[in-house]
Amino acid sequence: MSGGAYGYVHNRIWQAASDVRDDAIRHSKPMEEEYSWRGELITVEAFGQSVIDAMALAAAIADLAARALKDVDWMISSDTGPDTLVKQASGLRDKLTRLAQGEIPPLETPYGG
């Protein structure tokens, strides 16, 4: 496994982003689910589209942060070089700009790529 200089914190951030996306999808429409650890049937509350979009934005920002941290980690660990980091940062900057301009990120896939 590459990297490790920062304790693979980017993986935990990616997992949190994935969890937010899953929750946004889950709350995008009402449905019932059974939680096995309690054995009770609950109804999941549907959130409005503006809340779902805000959750998608939060997940996308976390994806980009995780990607940026991974890229620095790999460079510091000598898995990639400074030129690679600069190239990756340019791509992340473009995605941040699109988010700042109001792009709504997809919920189905990580935004940081």
| Look-up of token digits 């991974």 | 70
Domain of 37, in residue numbers: 9-100
Tens-digit pLDDT profile for residues 80-92: 999 999 999 999 9
Domain count for the chain = 1
pTM of the predicted model as reported, rounded to 2 decimal places = 0.85
Return the closest-CA partner of residue 73 out of 11, 5, 12.
Answer: 5
For residue 111, being part of any structural domain is answered with no
Residue count of the chain:
113
For residue 85, being part of any structural domain is answered with yes
Tens-digit pLDDT profile for residues 40-98: 776 778 899 999 999 999 999 999 999 999 999 999 999 999 999 999 999 999 999 99
List Cα–Cα distances, 18 to 26, 75, 76, 93, in angstroms. Answer: 12, 25, 26, 21
For residue 105, being part of any structural domain is answered with no
